[in-house]
Structure 1
Amino acid sequence: MDSVRTCVACRKRASRTELLRVVVHEGRLVADDRAVLPGRGAWVHPTARCLDRAVSRGSFPRALRVSGKPDAGPIENRLKTLMDN
């Protein structure tokens, strides 16, 4: 059975396979496709809408328990690549 996680943006619950795990690495938000990177992870739907909402509301720093605002560039670029394919 697949575990259920909550999207940090829309707060909807979904299985891990439907969500993208995001972690902070060297001050940047990075996608953790295989959910194996160390540290706290935040889960978000891999859509521009949920990503934009999470970034604008400051959901990632709160969920990941980091101070400041991590650079969302890498995760935004990654999402654009996913949506283009």
Structure 2
Amino acid sequence: MSNLFSFLTDLAVNPKQQEAFANMPEAVMNTVGLSNSEQSLLQNGNSHRIAATFADEQFQAALVIGYPTPDPLPDPDPFSGKANQMSFAHQYA
């Protein structure tokens, strides 16, 4: 994962990082170790070019999928059978 992708991910979820970046963007970018080209890319603000720099990483992350496993303890259906339906109806009548 690139420094830029990691930085933007952290920036999206970290309010303290957001505040620091809003107040001193150059200092924050230097602290996290962004290269000069990454810094100029962010300062330019072209979202399409920014996304293009880590498009491969997004694609790879999108391919990481898993098949859901079956529920090991299937829940019983509380409304199966007439007796259960009647008792439910009587509770709220």
TM-score by length of 2: 0.24
Higher share in helix: 2
Higher share in strand: 1
TM-score by length of 1: 0.25
The structure with higher relative contact order (CA 8 Å, sep 6+) is 1
Give the greater-gyration-radius structure (CA): 2
